[in-house]
Amino acid sequence: MRTLLIVGNWKMNKTASEAATFVRQLNQHLPGNSTGIELVIAPPFTALESVRQVLGPTSPIQLGAQDMFWEDHGAYTGEVSAPMLKDLGCRYVIIGHSERRTLFGEQSDGIQKKVRAALKHGLRPILCIGESLIQRDNGSTDDVLTQQLHDSLSGLTGKAMAEVTVAYEPIWAIGTGKSATTEQAVAAHRTIRRVLGAVASSAIADGMRILYGGSVTPQNIESLLASDQVDGALIGGACLQVESFATIAKVASAARPIGV
């Protein structure tokens, strides 16, 4: 059974001090450390250290970053590397988010390099893929997802693939309040798992987590997690308030009790 993974992508929100206050409050809203799910928060780079300080060494909440560069160090003004994120206690890193692709011109070759660099340094990549509304309307969703997966993951060993989490984030659902239906998410996740099976093996694909992202809320998380094809969620807007993020985490814990 794949353990559910709930990731809060804060995007460009919260200063370091706001982040510390948020995490102190979040700790009070979450049940002990036996939630049976994995919980990750991905603050901006500037808040990683303050979040880490508040979480402390034994927190069940893990740290993630929202992006990274593929080189380890050097003359790359403004960039942050995998060793830097590891040193700050990050376990996960989001790669290829559609905002990075559309607003900052990220291309598939760079995304592939980032995935490889993350794996090399023991960071778990959360690879984001998803189609635009035009692509969905013209029936090319499966082709787009297939291409994005091949572009980013081809050539990885099975062992490396097993460390990757894929987040299906249809662009039309991000920040729009218009989530994919459970049926749409499940269909996309089945396609993704089939392609992962072809790139690696079906045994490896079966063990990999596929998250859904795009207007996830405390109201719709239960129905999204009702399918065993949906292994968790990548959450934007709804992770910025303590109560809504904590509610999502609680619903997810109840969705897949430990040992089931």
**Which residues form the catalytic set?**
97, 169
Q: Which residue is nearest to ligand 13P (CB)?
A: 236
Q: Kindly tell me which of 91 and 194 has the beta carbon lying closer to ligand 13P.
A: 91
Choose one: 56-64, 196-204, 229-237, 247-255; the region binding ligand 13P (CB under 6 A). 229-237
Q: Kindly tell me which of 160 and 238 has the beta carbon lying closer to ligand 13P.
A: 238
| One character per residue 83-102, x = contact with ligand 13P (rule: CB under 6 A) | --------------x-----
Confirm or reject binding of residue 196 to ligand 13P (CB under 6 A): no
Choose one: 33-41, 155-163, 208-216, 221-229; the region binding ligand 13P (CB under 6 A). 208-216
Q: Kindly tell me which of 144 and 235 has the beta carbon lying closer to ligand 13P.
A: 235
| Token code pair at residue 16 | 């370091």
Please give the Cα distance from 66 to 133 (Å, whole number). 24
* Whole-number Cα distances in Å, 123 to 29, 67, 70, 82, 219: 28, 11, 12, 7, 31
Residues 95-154 that bind ligand 13P (CB under 6 A): 97
Find the binder of ligand 13P among 85, 235, 246, 248 (CB under 6 A).
235
Choose one: 131-139, 151-159, 168-176, 200-208; the region binding ligand 13P (CB under 6 A). 168-176
Confirm or reject binding of residue 213 to ligand 13P (CB under 6 A): yes
Q: Kindly tell me which of 97 and 121 has the beta carbon lying closer to ligand 13P.
A: 97
Q: If 0-12 CB within 10 Å is exposed, 13-18 middle and 19+ buried, where does residue 73 land? A: exposed
Confirm or reject binding of residue 64 to ligand 13P (CB under 6 A): no
Confirm or reject binding of residue 44 to ligand 13P (CB under 6 A): no
* Whole-number Cα distances in Å, 243 to 97, 119, 206, 248: 25, 33, 33, 9
- Whole-number minimum distance, CB 139 to ligand 13P, in Å? 24
Confirm or reject binding of residue 158 to ligand 13P (CB under 6 A): no
Q: How many residues does the chain have?
A: 260
* Whole-number Cα distances in Å, 235 to 31, 56, 98, 145, 148: 20, 23, 13, 20, 21
Find the binder of ligand 13P among 40, 156, 174, 195 (CB under 6 A).
174
Find the binder of ligand 13P among 110, 197, 207, 237 (CB under 6 A).
237
- What letter represents residue 222's amino acid? E
Confirm or reject binding of residue 169 to ligand 13P (CB under 6 A): yes
- Residues lying near ligand 13P in the complex (CB under 6 A): 9, 97, 169, 174-175, 213-216, 234-238
